[in-house]
Amino acid sequence: MSMVDEPLYPIAVLIDELKNDDVQLRLNSIRRLSTIARALGEERTRKELIPFLSDNNDDDDEVLLAMAEELGVFIPYVGGVEHAHVLLPPLETHCTVEETCVRDKAVESLCRIGSQMRESDLVDYFIPLVKRLAAGEWFTARVSACGLFQIAYPSAPDMLKLELRSVYNQLCQDDMPMVRRSAATNLGKFAATVEPAHLKSDVMPMFEALTQDDQDSVRLLAVEGCAALGKLLEPQDCVAHILPVIVNFSQDKSWRVRYMVANQLYELCEAVGPEPTRTDLVPAYVRLLRDNEAEVRIAAAGKVSKFCRILSPELAIQHILPCVKELSSDSSQHVRSALASVIMGMASILGKEATTEQLLPIFLSLLKDEFPDVRLNIISKLDQVNQVIGIDLLSQSLLPAIVELAEDRHWRVRLAIIEYIPLLASQLGVGFFDDKLGALCMQWLQDKVYSIRDAAANNLKRLAEEFGPEWAMQLIVPQVLEMMTNPHYLYRMTILHAISLLAPVLGSEITCSHLLPVITNASKDRYLFPAFTCDLSSAQLDLMTDPRSYVDRVPNIKFNVAKVLQSLVPIVDSSVVEKTIRPCLVELNEDPDVDVRFFANQALQSIEHVMMSS
Amino acid sequence: MNGGNGGRGEGGEVAAGVGKGKEAGAGVALEWRFAQVFGERATGEEVQEVDIISAIEFDKSGNHLATGDRGGRVVLFERTDTSDHGINRRDIEKMDFSTRKHPEFRYKTEFQSHEPEFDYLKSLEIEEKINKIRWCQTANGALFLLSTNDKTIKFWKVHEKKVKKISDMNVDPKALMGNGSIRNLNNDFSFPPEGIPSLRLPAVTSHETSLNARCRRVYAHAHDYHINSISNNSDGETFISADDLRINLWNLEISNQSFNIVDLKPQNMEDLTEVITSAEFHPTHCNLLAYSSSKGSIRLIDLRRSALCDSHAQLFEEPEIPGSRSFFTEIIASISDIKFSKYGRHILSRDYMTVKLWDINMNSGPVATFQVHEYLRPKLCDLYENDSIFDKFECCLSGDGQRVATGSYSNLFHVVGCAPGSTEATTLEASKNPMRKQVQTPSRPARSLGSLTRVVRRGSESPDVDANGNSFDFTSKLLHLAWHPTENSIACAAANSLYMYYA
């Protein structure tokens, strides 16, 4: 064992730990692989480190994954692009491991390295690697091979190109479904590099074979290839070759395949052009919207707006709208929910007249849906409709829907509607809000569930931002401060939280005049009760008689007061800090409760800090 | 040919004549010989509960065999006589056919798959007993398998790991112990471009390898009831797990979510009339799976039709014979195991009394019924009393689909020819001398209801004694057995012992 110079000691440890028994230490070393490489120098990295790493293929997955990732950006450490090929062997072994995420990362890194390699090196090193993997004994190697053709193919000479195409064809017909799935997944990327002449003669037959695969899981992935291939082909070829396939797929026996078609169909419309869209794709889409399987209808309903955007409004009104009407009363709540989340987007496509006449009744019926998610989804996209027809037409139905959601027994539903309140407020305007929704916002502050109270406090802040401090001063602040008298300390904590959120929005003046007194009052109980029998100053007497001057004995309130006071320091004037905040904190700093003293002390220190720096 | 109409049973002798004319393998009865035993019990030795084998499974190639036991262990065996062990293929071809060696296995490794657990929320003990083992696709020379107990499925990788010796470290490992915390490397430390020559990489030498079993994934918390089956899909990426009321679909790579595809749970548990007893994917069609029920029916479901497969594509059920209903009818009709034949054309099912072979294209009734326990019919009351009537016997098909096998009491198992015209019916004992107890019954065990009366009569003549004059031992039951996928070789479990036979 040699001794190492002091400054090199950490790097020496790092190198040794490449082989430590502890996975975590090995992982740390691998993550610092670039440091190790720099310490060894480029030549020894090439000649020693990389072969050393190549031997290490039965390490834990986490280590292999990290290594595959590091090697992807390792070109600078091996001496630049002309030496990039030395990185291929370790990644090639990573391409064969059985853990999918390691293989995927290795393929990604290989593609990254390959895209920087010199053309001659690609032919000498990269293409043979792809061929070796494609002929691998185990399916794992062949799965990885499929993802590398897109890099290998463009720089191959013609003869090799011919061979690579035939190798890919083999992979598309592999015995193992895993390999065929990988071939189907990567077909689009590979096809993008193939010359147009061979696209039709070689790639299309592969694609057709995949579309007729026995395994549903392979056909599913072939569907995804449709759009990618369609975009590469001339429109007339696309109509001749892709369109029949997709129309077939849309009637596949397997609902999972139809589900994929429903998700992808709109992407194909552009590739085939308007006329085939009208004659073939619209009927296919209408069939999917009326599919027997709810999952398929969910996927199709979720794409209604995207699909209509490609069509002319007339076509959409004539063919799609009737289906949308049916879906709005679908037996599956998830279908209605998917529809509700996108249907508002149709308003801008169909225009004002059609929206008012046709869509509005659907909106209204969805707003009355028994399932809260459906109603929430409509409300969440209200702004899209507002731009087209204005919100007045909806507002009468909105209110009952909102009130019902606001009182839903599931707190998650209440939480969701609170989050939309600022959006609603901005769309509906101050007047509507004051009349109908203001009371709800206050009610949430006293919800039984913490998350709702927390969200309610946040909501007040966002409303104050929306409507301005003066509005807040009139309609929010008095009611909020009123609640400080709530006998339950948890509710008072919510109010403290709300105050701390509102203060920055309302500004220094209102904070000093209205918020600060309430906070300081909340900290003072320790004096008041014992002092009750002694002589009270008139100010204290005022506090006692004023209902807002409720004073707090709960330590949780008191240390939250300290926290809030700390947050107010940057907002208010330094004289206020000295006159009001600091004395209050000094008092709290004498509190019998250790937590109260801790936070009071913390706040005092931060005041010192602010004062020092200013 | 419909086994329900008695035609096959009655024609047994006639069919035997036809059978002789056929090539060996289908018509001629196999002569079974003892091959190997693992974990043989010495006379008088008491069996430990944890050692009792609870699952047996060959892998697809037949080169490996796995057993699971009540102690949560999985034991792997590997074949030693395969040609890829250095013997030239041509040499094998030259060898005389009759001297061909039978499959021979050796112990490979074992690992603790499941541990006993306690579910604190439900105050339930979870046994470690392995209920099922299924082999998955091999990759890179490593073996992969799924094992399950009542609640949790685990995905295992068993592979040869190099034993590494590290030498030539930069820092003395002993010195490192004390200073191990120095790890903060200065980032702006500049290295000379040619590197630091004094640093070196540790030298790794590895001479030997050791077998290592690693749990790769755990599929938990998806079953409220006890898991009775797991089964791989032909797509290589999904599998199902079935409990009493539900079947879930998993992706092998995703352990934190599964999809429920069958749910029999009624709104009100008092309305429950039927539970799932076994489920299996079709061997080649990725969209088909079959599950059996406690009412004796088998349902084939098509995953293509809908996401929730509560409605079946086909229902295989034998019509009830009017007037035959008794207290035990439903109990003995309950199917304990189903297996697809190699290419998926047939389904074999086992209930308490019989083994039935179904053609998936014919749901009106089984194509053949083989009586296994008909002689127990008069004793159903006793069997009910001591709970034996709820024993779950497994069944298996040979790779060529010509024969079926299933277990019985007294460590006996039956091998029956199921090809049309076959009269083969052999009873063997799981011991070193399998034919010891076997006295060829005058006619093959009744294969149909037509001969039912005859068997019952024979049973009633000697109510407590079998054909050899031995009384039946209900404690030594042979529940688990498996047929080698390509050869006539059977592995079966008698308590803690694994017996292998060949023909």
Give pLDDT tens digits for A87-134.
999 999 999 998 999 999 999 999 999 999 999 999 999 999 999 999
User: When comparing pLDDT for B321 and A605, which is higher?
Assistant: A605
pLDDT digits (tens, 9 = 90+) for B211-252: 889 999 999 999 999 999 999 999 999 999 999 999 999 999
Q: How many CB atoms lie within 10 A of CB A411?
A: 15
Nearest 5°: phi and psi at B106?
-135, 155
Q: What is the pLDDT of residue A552?
A: 59
Of the given ranges (A139-153, A282-296, B162-176), which has the lowest mean pLDDT?
B162-176
- HEC profile of B28-77: CCCCCEEEEEECCCCCCCCCCHHHCEEEEEECCCCCEEEEEECCCEEEEE
A4 band by pLDDT with thresholds 50, 70 and 90: low
How long, in residues, is chain A? 614
Are residues B191 and A39, on separate chains, in Cβ contact within 8 Å? yes
> How many CA atoms lie within 13 Å of B47's alpha carbon, on the beta-carbon side?
18
Tell me what ipTM this predicted complex has: 0.81
Single-letter residue type at B396: C
How would you classify residue B23: left for phi > 0, otherwise alpha for psi between -120 and 50, otherwise beta? beta
Of the given ranges (A68-82, A372-386, B171-185, B378-392), which has the lowest mean pLDDT?
B171-185
The mean pLDDT of A486-504, rounded to a whole number, is: 88
The mean pLDDT of B161-169, rounded to a whole number, is: 78
A367 band by pLDDT with thresholds 50, 70 and 90: confident
Q: What is the pLDDT of residue A497?
A: 92
Q: What is the pLDDT of residue A206?
A: 94
- Pair B404, B398: CB distance under 8 Å: yes
- Pair B438, B426: CB distance under 8 Å: yes
Helix axes A204-211, A158-172, angle to 10 degrees: 10
Bridge partners for B143 per DSSP:
B158
The average confidence (pLDDT) of chain A is 87
Residue of A nearest to B205 (CA): A55
Are residues A138 and B139, on separate chains, in Cβ contact within 8 Å? yes
Rounded to a whole number of angstroms, the distance from the CA of B269 to the nearest CA of chain A is 25
CA atoms of A89 and A491, how far apart (whole Å):
64
- Pair B500, B491: CB distance under 8 Å: yes
pLDDT beyond 90 at A574? no
Are residues A8 and B198, on separate chains, in Cβ contact within 8 Å? yes
User: Chain A residues with CB inside 8 Å of B193's CB?
Assistant: 41-42
Opening angle at CA A139, ends A134 and A145, nearest 5? 30
Classify residue B448 by its DSSP letter.
Answer: S
CA atoms of A495 and A436, how far apart (whole Å):
22
Rounded to a whole number of angstroms, the distance from the CA of B188 to the nearest CA of chain A is 11
The mean pLDDT of A174-188, rounded to a whole number, is: 95
- Alpha helical stretches, state H, A344-429: 346-354, 360-367, 372-380, 382-389, 392-406, 411-428
pLDDT beyond 90 at A268? no
Spatial strand order in the sheet of B395-397: B395-397, B403-407, B412-417, B425-429
Rounded to a whole number of angstroms, the distance from the CA of B63 to the nearest CA of chain A is 17
Are residues A216 and B304, on separate chains, in Cβ contact within 8 Å? yes
pLDDT digits (tens, 9 = 90+) for B175-207: 554 444 444 555 556 677 777 888 888 888 777
Q: Which residue has the tokens 């690697």?
A: A129
Are residues B201 and A52, on separate chains, in Cβ contact within 8 Å? yes
- HEC profile of A286-313: HHHHCCCCHHHHHHHHCCHHHHHHHCCH
- Pair B12, B443: CB distance under 8 Å: yes
The mean pLDDT of A470-478, rounded to a whole number, is: 87
Question: Pick from A10, A42, A217: which is nearest to B286 by CB?
Answer: A217
CA atoms of B376 and B362, how far apart (whole Å):
30
A14 band by pLDDT with thresholds 50, 70 and 90: confident
Of the given ranges (A303-307, B4-8, B93-97), which has the lowest mean pLDDT?
B4-8
pLDDT beyond 50 at B443? no
Q: How many CB atoms lie within 10 A of CB A29?
A: 21
| pTM, two decimal places | 0.81
Q: How many CB atoms lie within 10 A of CB B306?
A: 18
The mean pLDDT of B392-403, rounded to a whole number, is: 94
pLDDT beyond 80 at A470? yes
Structure tokens at B43: 């006379």
Structure tokens at A376: 């929430």
Q: Which residue has the tokens 């053609």?
A: B359
Question: Among candidates A270, A278, A330, A272, which has minimal Cα distance to A302?
Answer: A330
Element (H, E) at B314: strand B314-316
Question: Among candidates A400, A318, A308, which has minimal Cα distance to A347?
Answer: A308
Structure tokens at B259: 């999809």
Classify residue B120 by its DSSP letter.
Answer: T
pLDDT beyond 90 at A173? yes
Burial zone of A392 (CB within 10 Å; 0-12 exposed, 13-18 middle, 19+ buried): exposed
Residue of B nearest to A255 (CA): B304
Q: What is the pLDDT of residue A111?
A: 96
The average confidence (pLDDT) of chain B is 81
Are residues A255 and B164, on separate chains, in Cβ contact within 8 Å? no
